[in-house]
Amino acid sequence: KPKAVYSYMENDEKPLVGARVILYSDTEIMFSYSLLSSYIPHGTYTVNHGKLVMKTDDGRYTYTFNFSGDNLIFDAANSSELPEYNYGNGEKLKPVPNGAVFEKK
């Protein structure tokens, strides 16, 4: 059973996002940022000064979240670039914007 599950559900603009952060232990983490992505970042995390910093097992990506009560806030400025997807209107958008709130479930 996971230690904690955080979910972010976007508005109707991007109904297929389904972004989720799952903490499996005191160090193991998974960050699924879009149902359209074939890459699901998995790795380890540390917590320092109110920030959760994830590093992927393959060493390619880092993602940062700030704590706000029981929730996590995505910090895009201190994270690896997320890919952009076309959600049907011809405009490409990132699946998780800066400041997105992941609510603890």
Mean per-residue pLDDT pooled into runs of 10, the chain (105 residues):
78 61 94 88 95 97 95 95 83 87 88
Please give the pLDDT value at position 98. 92
Contacts of 57 (CB under 8 A, 6+ apart): 42, 43, 44
Please give the pLDDT value at position 54. 98
Please give the pLDDT value at position 91. 79
Please give the pLDDT value at position 51. 96
**Cα distance between residue 89 and residue 98, in whole Å:** 21
Contacts of 37 (CB under 8 A, 6+ apart): 83, 85, 95
Please give the pLDDT value at position 34. 85
> 66 in helix, strand or coil?
strand
Please give the pLDDT value at position 10. 57
Please give the pLDDT value at position 16. 52
